[in-house]
Structure 1
């Protein structure tokens, strides 16, 4: 699967690389996702974001036009995500809970777990499977219009 990760902090790169093990083609970008940066998702299947990224209806529309099928948000909540707009465009959403805003710093083990779960979501989607408890859509991937199979 081809993915782009926005708002990546320098310390996160190692964890994502270790979790990915070169399975997916992931571009890491330090800039946040927004109306002006969504173009970096062109040619990708998935977008990986944090709570710092804009997932409003206009951005969702732009991502859908670029062919994005999947969103993984690494955040404590999904309040920054316009779920209605994304799912209306057929984009599936997974949430990998991160530390709460203003919360304690994460341990190395916790950071690796977040990266591992992020990659696991991409793995499952590339097999045309639901991401289970990480699903923010409706947990009914098998009932929705099937997505085209995505190659890792």
Structure 2
């Protein structure tokens, strides 16, 4: 699965690489998802957004969907800053992972499960 991860810390990058074990092709972006960084998601199957501090606009979600993104993973410490109805209405898969020590490993587990079902 081709995956892009937005707004990831250096520590989480290491954990993600170890958990992934080269199963998925992962692009890492240390910046949040916004109009400037959204184009990196072209031709990706899944988008992971970590601790986004500003709301993700409907237009960004629609742009991601137009790029062919089918799976969304959100990891937030507190509130979900996104309108999930657009993803639900498009019949796409998503999961919200609460921030914890196991969150990065959970991301890989979810990608593994989705790749088996696609």
TM-score scaled by length of structure 2? 0.90
The answer on whether the counterparts of 1:3 and 1:44 sit within 8 Å (CA) in structure 2 is: yes
CA distance in 1, matches of 2:57, 2:3: 19
Number of residue equivalences? 117
Paired residue for 2:115?
A: 126
Unaligned runs of 5+ in 2: none
CA distance in 2, matches of 1:2, 1:20: 12
TM-score scaled by length of structure 1? 0.71
Unaligned runs of 5+ in 1: 100-109, 129-148
Structure with more contact order per residue of length (Cα contacts < 8 Å, sep ≥ 6): 2
CA distance in 1, matches of 2:38, 2:79: 19
SS, match of residue 127 in structure 1:
helix
Are positions 1:81 and 2:70 aligned together?
Answer: no
How far residue 35 of structure 1 moved from its aligned partner, in angstroms, is: 2.5
Are positions 1:57 and 2:85 aligned together?
Answer: no
The answer on whether the counterparts of 1:16 and 1:116 sit within 8 Å (CA) in structure 2 is: yes
How far residue 78 of structure 1 moved from its aligned partner, in angstroms, is: 5.1
Paired residue for 2:68?
A: 67
The answer on whether the counterparts of 2:7 and 2:51 sit within 8 Å (CA) in structure 1 is: no
Q: Specify which structure has the higher proportion of strand.
A: 2
* Equivalences for residues 112-151 of structure 1 within 5 A: 113-128=102-117, 149=118
How far residue 96 of structure 1 moved from its aligned partner, in angstroms, is: 1.4
How far residue 62 of structure 1 moved from its aligned partner, in angstroms, is: 0.1
CA distance in 2, matches of 1:95, 1:29: 19
Paired residue for 2:16?
A: 16
Q: Specify which structure has the higher proportion of helix.
A: 2
CA distance in 1, matches of 2:67, 2:34: 14
How far residue 57 of structure 1 moved from its aligned partner, in angstroms, is: 1.0
